[in-house]
Structure 1
Amino acid sequence: MNQKVALITGGSRGIGGAIAESLANEGFDIAISYANNAACAEDVVKAIQAKGRRALAIKADGSTVEGNKAVISKTLSELGRIDVLVCNAGRYPYGLINEMSTEEIDKTLTLNLRSVMIETAEAVKHMQAGSRLIYIGSAFGERAPFPGISVYSATKAALPGFARGVARDLGSKGITANVVQPGPIDTELNPADGAAAKMLSSFVATGAYGKTADIAAAVSFLASPGAGYVTGSTLTVDGGLCA
């Protein structure tokens, strides 16, 4: 029970999967949550176990309070503690605000923002000094360079404000709270050779997509002892999209 544990929501693939493996390399046992793809989640678990670390995959409905609480309680019951919480699960609705349904707006607010708040509130009840809260935001929370992302941008823009408040709430307890804001990252859902890649790359100073390893490295830094004096901050890893 002395082995440190990191929980990554939405950790079955893409950025979440890369974060899970990176933190396992840093010596953490790992819990991940996933919505539907059990096969991908199991692949991540096997990769982490191959590194000699304990690993747990939790199927959870991030759209419900019960699902958010279950991710925390299951991690605690199976792995004994939570030292790092990485809130990565989210959704990306695309559409003009005048065409967006209230149902779509509610789903996005629930998964991208409310779930982060609930999971944080539940996890910190069991966290000790030195623990880390890390929220995966988006460069689109700081800049909306094209139409159709207003709802998504709003939810991601809220995360730095939440992190600053949490940093104040928990600073005396030695728990930090920070945001990592990725730019366009090459994943299965947003490939660097996909239909939108040329447009998205044109907004980036480097003219190229980033890699999941870029985001995982930023998270690993914030989870490390070397980041103990970093809290309430936003680390933007976007190739200069916001420059």
Structure 2
Amino acid sequence: MKQKLYRTLIELTNGPFTANLIKKFTHSKLSRRLIKSYATFYRINLDEMLDDINSYENLHTFFTRKLKENIRVIDQNEDSIVSPVDGVLEDIGKIDGNSVIYVKNKTYSISEMLGSSDRARKYAEGTYMILYLSPAHYHRIHSPINAKIMNRYSLGSKSYPVNRLGIKYGDSTLSKNFRTITELEHDWKSIAMVKVGAMFINSVEIINHDLEWKKGEEVAYFSFGSTVVLLFEKNSFQLNEDFSVPSEVRVGQALGKII
């Protein structure tokens, strides 16, 4: 009953009109008045920001704020996978032989997430990792490793919540929301980086279109709280032992390594 009610309410409020209204407001000068209260409510560290809080024209520019140079330390081990975002490591586990993952007692199809059973097959019996960004987090996305870009594309049309309620009651949000997929290659190993849009707004903006990415460099940003899913091939990734789930992570922090 709770799941049905949740989905009904989300469907009633998640449409082009609502999305455009939110987008228009967050880009307006009127929204500037909310920046300081937003920062206070979410306890945002103002000392990390590149610009002074009074310099932002609207809520959108504050939400997509940059950080001061070198404020995040990028792990320099050649084969380390670093966190591409500030966020929470919500889940990590094994992709089964049918390219399916189980998150919070729900089933997600990697084939649906990537838009192709052929694309998903290479990650069968591999590892998945889910990184969630709340409205309080820094929302720029960075490369998790030095890599070549093998493929990039977008799927989906709508975006539903990807917070804990969205994961629990939503309809396969990680594999059905608007999402931008980048397939990376490092040392002949494939890594899929799925950037999932959040409620109301298809909020993934790609800013780095190079054919190669350097570990830690900025590649995209979210215009709303969202999620990054990392997929690794079988026997290709080893998680750092000191991580538990859930754990707060920061850009550049080593999550594990390619093996």
Task: Indicate whether the TM-score tops 0.5.
Answer: no
TM-score (norm 1): 0.28
TM-score (norm 2): 0.27
Larger gyration radius, structure 1 or structure 2 = 2
Bigger proportion of residues as helix:
1
Bigger proportion of residues as strand:
2
